[in-house]
Structure 1
Amino acid sequence: MAATPFIFITGGVRSGKSSFAERKAVEIARKSEGRLNYLATGVASDSEMMERIKKHQHDRLAGTYQWKTYEQSLRIGKIADEFTAEDVVLLDCVTTLLNNELFSSEQNWDNRFLSNVKENIISGISSIKERAGTMIIVSNEVLNESIHGNEMVFAYGRLLGQIHQFLVKEADKVFLVEAGIPIIMKGVIR
Structure 2
Amino acid sequence: MTETPNPNIVDADSLTGEMHPIRRVVVALGSNLGERLSSLQGAVDALADTPDFFVTGVSPVYETEPVDSPEEAKPYLNAVVLADTTLPAARLMERALAIEDAYERERSEVRNAPRTLDVDLIVVGDRRSNEDFLRLPHPRAHQRAFVLQPWHDLEPDAVFPERGPIADLLADVDGSGVRRREDLALEVE
TM-score by length of 1: 0.28
Structure whose residues are more often helix by fraction: 1
TM-score by length of 2: 0.28
Higher RCO (CA 8 Å, separation ≥ 6 residues): 1
